[in-house]
Amino acid sequence: MLLHPLPWPDGKKMAAAITFDVDADSLIRNARPEDGHLRLAPVSMGRYGPTVAVPRILETYRRLGLTQTFFMPGWVMETYPATVEAILKAGHEIGHHSWRHEDPMSHSDEREAELFGRALDTHVRMTGRRPRGYRAPVYNATPGVIARLIGEGFLYDSSLMADELPYLLTAPAGELIELPPHWGLDDWPPFAHFEEIGYLMPVRGPSDGIRAFIEEFEAAHEVGGFWMPVLHPFLTGRLARWRVLERFIETALEAGDVWFAPLEAIAGHARANRDLLRVDTVGEGAA
């Protein structure tokens, strides 16, 4: 059961958004600033995302008639402009995902404001519009980040985990729609093997790793919920893994009762149904 169910557009039973964080080689460069550029294996692993996996993913979306959401750090956008162009040309949303995937907990809020603004300027220059949504690196949104999103007029955040459905996030500065992720729908646990940044997961087979996402979908479908995997092109965009997920998406579309939409549209729908949303509070003094 869901405590605060939402009606979905056109009589659809549930809402779904397949989201990709296009971090590319920002991860190794942050983890090893002294010599990350010399570590060609992890650099190449990251570069696989925007140069090989994203075109594969976009082709699937084109074939299936889907528009979805990609989150990109500003540095990645500037480093891979052709990837940005391809995503935009296909009609997809690009959300704010920091400057170079720096963890907001690793520096002061003043430094975070500088990096956030630099990435925001990149979005406006390269996409022609301000992003409507944000996802924090490693989901580490802080009260300062939430206040900044509200102050900059963002519609939604997708970093916090207080529900399975969109909810209203309130703070002293105002409010946002929260589109909650959780680790059970993240491809890092089943697929990340990245010694240089301290992740040595036992890599699972494609069907085994994707099965967790499918079971999450089935549970959400049963109760009319919201399904939002958080994926990385250099992980799930690999050939065999994407084939498994692609075939599942085809099956979900054939059923005809799932609303697949970019996060901006889902957040807008949640905002239009604001009175039905669960409310959670962040900020000084909040529990």
Structural domain includes residue 2: no
Could you read off the pLDDT of 227-269 as tens digits, one per residue? 999 999 999 999 999 999 999 999 999 999 999 999 999 999 9
Going through 124-255 in order, the beta strands assigned E by DSSP cover 133-134, 156-157, 167-171, 174-178, 193-194, 199-200, 226-227, 230-231
CATH number of the domain enclosing 52: 3.20.20.370
CB 226 within 8 Å of CB 19: no
Predicted local confidence at residue 30, as pLDDT: 82
> Is residue 286 assigned to a domain?
no
* CA-angle at 155, arms to 222 and 97, nearest 5°: 90
Residue 57 belongs to some domain of the structure: yes
The CB-side HSE value for 39 (13 A sphere, CA atoms) comes to 20
Asked if residue 1 belongs to a domain, the reply is: no
Residues 152-191 pLDDT 10s: 999 999 999 999 999 999 999 999 999 999 999 999 999 9
| Model pLDDT for residues 108-143, shown as the tens digit of each residue | 999 999 999 999 999 999 999 999 999 999 999 999
| Structural domain count of the chain | 1
Amino acid occupying residue 160: L
Residue 91 in any domain: the answer is: yes
**Position 242 in a domain:** yes
Q: Are strands 193-194 and 199-200 parallel, antiparallel or unpaired?
A: antiparallel
Domain assignment of residue 262, given as a range: 15-278
Phi (first) and psi of residue 58, to 5 degrees: -65, -35
Contact predicate 98/145, CB 8 Å: no
Q: Is residue 8 one of the residues assigned to a domain? A: no
Is there a domain that residue 43 lies in?
A: yes
- Any idea what DSSP says for residue 47? H
